[in-house]
Amino acid sequence: MLVLEDINVYYGAIHALKGISFEVNKGEIVTLIGSNGAGKSTSLKTISGLLRPKSGKITFKGENLAIVPPQSIVAKGISQVPEGRRVFANMTVIENLELGAYLRKDKTEIKKAMQHVYELFPRLLERNKQISGTLSGGEQQMLAMGRALMSQPELLLLDEPSMGLAPILVKQIFSIIKEINASGTTILLVEQNAHMALSIANRAYVLETGKIVLSGDSKELAESEEVRKAYLGG
């Protein structure tokens, strides 16, 4: 579904992605793990078109994404939940969700998408008239995910959904990610919480200073000495 080949991304003189290649197949949950500054967020931003690679190729369902303007990438079926949620704090929950459907015209389809979001996140229905800035961190994460789902993406990009959340909420969010995947959405998940990410993903790639240093089946990686030492606290 999504293939990155030999991608190089720079911030000015900083070489943030050094020739990375990976792929996500339809129906999978794939995770990119790695420590702070490894290039995980940069990878997602490059896929969603917020950053452009200096060289390399990105194809989505066989189409070259490098020539697609960022605003059209959502219409192609890719939606991103940014790091730090970034909900529109002064707007209500409903207004945030409606903005996630801004590309869609069919009112019945929009209603159906919202219904699906409320089924996944009943809390959002309870709070749908609340100003988003007053929601808890976990609720804002739910809202950011719900908003991204309003475009009914084929591929959902999630950037650090566990960031700043209490363990019980992290568990809840990860179980919903599995549910979203089971209902047909392919997922690329970026996480510093390698333990949780490996527990739900089919496959994983380990990033270190802009390079992929390990990849494979999540269960196998979780058991490998190298990953356990570096990312799972021994």
Which residues contact ligand ATP (rule: CB under 6 A)? 11, 14, 16, 34, 36-42, 192
Q: Which is nearer to ligand ATP, 37 or 122 (CB)?
A: 37
Q: Which is nearer to ligand ATP, 42 or 79 (CB)?
A: 42
Which CB sits closer to ligand ATP, 110 or 157?
157
Residue 19 Cβ, how far from ligand ATP at the closest point, in Å? 14
Nearer to ligand ATP, 44 or 120 (CB): 44
CB of 118 to ligand ATP, least distance (A): 30
- For tokens 């030492």, name the residue: 229
Q: How far is the CB of 140 from ligand ATP (least distance, A)?
A: 18
Chain-centroid distance, C-alpha 78 = 10
User: From CA 187, how far away is CA 189, in angstroms rounded?
Assistant: 6
**Phi and psi of 80, rounded to 5°?**
-115, 135
- Buried/exposed 127-159: b ≥16 CB within 10 Å, e otherwise: bbeeebeebeebbbbbbbbbbbbbbbbbbbbbb
163 Cβ contact partners less than 8 Å away, ≥ 6 residues apart: 83, 84, 192
Minimum distance from residue 62 beta carbon to ligand ATP (Å)? 27
Structure-token pair, residue 88: 């529109």
CA distance 74 to 96: 16
CB of 191 to ligand ATP, least distance (A): 9
Helix, coil or strand: residue 86: coil
The identity of residue 179, as a single letter, is E
**Is the distance from CB of 70 to CB of 48 less than 8 angstroms?**
yes
Q: Look up residue 36 and give its amino acid.
A: N
Q: Which is nearer to ligand ATP, 38 or 212 (CB)?
A: 38
Nearer to ligand ATP, 33 or 73 (CB): 33
Residues 75 and 153: their CA atoms lie apart, in Å, by 8
* CA distance from start to end of the chain: 34
Shortest distance, position 220 Cβ to ligand ATP, whole Å: 22
